[in-house]
Amino acid sequence: MSKPRITVLGSYNTDLTTFTPRMPQPGETILGSGFKTGPGGKGSNQAVAAARVGAWVSFVGRIGQDMFGEMALRTWKEAGVDTACVRQSSEQATGVATILVDSHGENMIVVASGANFAVSPADVEAAADAIANSKVVLTQLETPLPAVRRLLELGRAQGVLTILNPAPGQPLDRDLLALCDIITPNQTEAEIITGVPSTDAESAARALREHGARTVVMTLGGEGVLLYDDQGPRRFAAFKVDRVVDTTGAGDAFNGALAVALAEGRSMPDAIRFASATGAISVTRPGATESMPTRAEVDALLASAG
């Protein structure tokens, strides 16, 4: 099978990760057990994930002219991500994320967006050819909403499948949601958009469809995935792993792989299973971009699961 083409609009952040036995309380200083620097950012993570599991990926975004920006370019080159639509800014620094990871693999993250906040609709329009030649366009909310909206508009106008991962969560208007063929929130993000309590996942998913999104693919962590489309709600179990090391980037692994599976023409249930396997592998490894598995690893897990 030839590789499908995907365009990803999004952020790049350099992750500054500290591993700690537990999360500190306000005003408390505790000793960490390790530290590492690595590539991250939701958009970049999703682009690398998609490339590693089988797509030709064009990335649309901005980085600074600094050492972290050079790290981004090396990362994309190694993963095979096309950077023709990436702009380097001399006025803004490359984005940075400060991450704490506890002994259970749970994380807390603070992002200084830098050049990511300079991404504009003009940057998206400059990528019009890449979008037109793609099967899927994928974006998140770590870049300004006008750019996100323009990507979804151009994708819709070209008949390209549009996917929005609404993270970090923020209120979204119905006009933007109506541009989403697929929206992929977690429960917290769904609550922020709809106002429906996160404990009632099916009602929140129904509300997202009522607000304009065509298909909802809601990630539920260890509880798996809720799909809500024209056939109503359906649930898919999570893959079990022996040990969770770091959940940073797991949602990005899922989204990148989901885009690839759908671009390959798989049914939604098959695409969710493929994406879930990709996310499951990622949590067994430290880091974000570094944790993204290869296609061979995902296929092996799927084969072993039967």
What is the DSSP track for 205-234?
Answer: HHHHHHTT-SEEEEE-GGG-EEEEETTEEE
Tell me if 38 sits within 8 A of 89, measured CB to CB.
no
Q: 96 and 120 in contact (C-beta within 8 Å)?
A: no
Which segments of the chain have a pLDDT < 50? none
Closest residue by Cα to residue 73 from 96, 98, 94: 94
E-only strand ranges, the chain: 5-9, 13-19, 34-40, 56-64, 81-82, 86-89, 95-101, 107-112, 136-139, 161-164, 182-183, 215-219, 225-229, 232-236
Catalytic residue among 230, 252, 270, 299: 252
Q: Dig out the tokens for 149 from the structure.
A: 């909206």
Local structure of 276: helix, strand or coil? helix
pLDDT of res. 1: 63
Q: In the 8-state DSSP scheme, what is residue 66?
A: S
- Name the token pair of 11: 């952020």
Instruction: Judge contact between 141 and 148, C-beta under 8 A.
Output: yes
* The pLDDT value given to residue 288: 80
C-alpha to C-alpha distance for 200 and 231, rounded to whole angstroms = 19
Q: Can you give the pLDDT at residue 64?
A: 97
**What is residue 62's three-state secondary structure?**
strand
CA-to-CA separations, 217 to 12, 188, 197, in angstroms, rounded:
24, 13, 17
Do residues 51 and 80 make contact, with C-beta atoms less than 8 angstroms apart? yes
Model pLDDT, residue 2: 85
Domain 5-25+32-305 CATH (choose: 3.30.479.10, 3.20.190.10, 3.40.640.10, 3.40.1190.20): 3.40.1190.20
CA dihedral 49, 52, 220, 280 (to 10 degrees): -130
Structure tokens at 217: 């693919």
Parallel, antiparallel or unpaired: strands 34-40 and 13-19: antiparallel
Report yes or no on whether pTM surpasses 0.85: yes
pLDDT at 50: 98
Burial class (CB in 10 A: 0-12, 13-18, 19+), 103: exposed
Integer Cα distance of 249 and 256 in angstroms: 10
DSSP state of 186: B
What burial class does residue 142 get, using C-beta atoms within 10 Å of its C-beta: 0-12 exposed, 13-18 middle, 19+ buried?
Answer: buried
pLDDT at residue 245, as a whole number: 86
Give the list of residues 6+ apart from residue 272 with CB closer than 8 angstroms, or none: 217, 225, 227, 236, 258
Is 252 known to be catalytic?
Answer: yes
User: What is the pLDDT at residue 274?
Assistant: 98
pLDDT of residue 242: 86
DSSP designation for 178: T
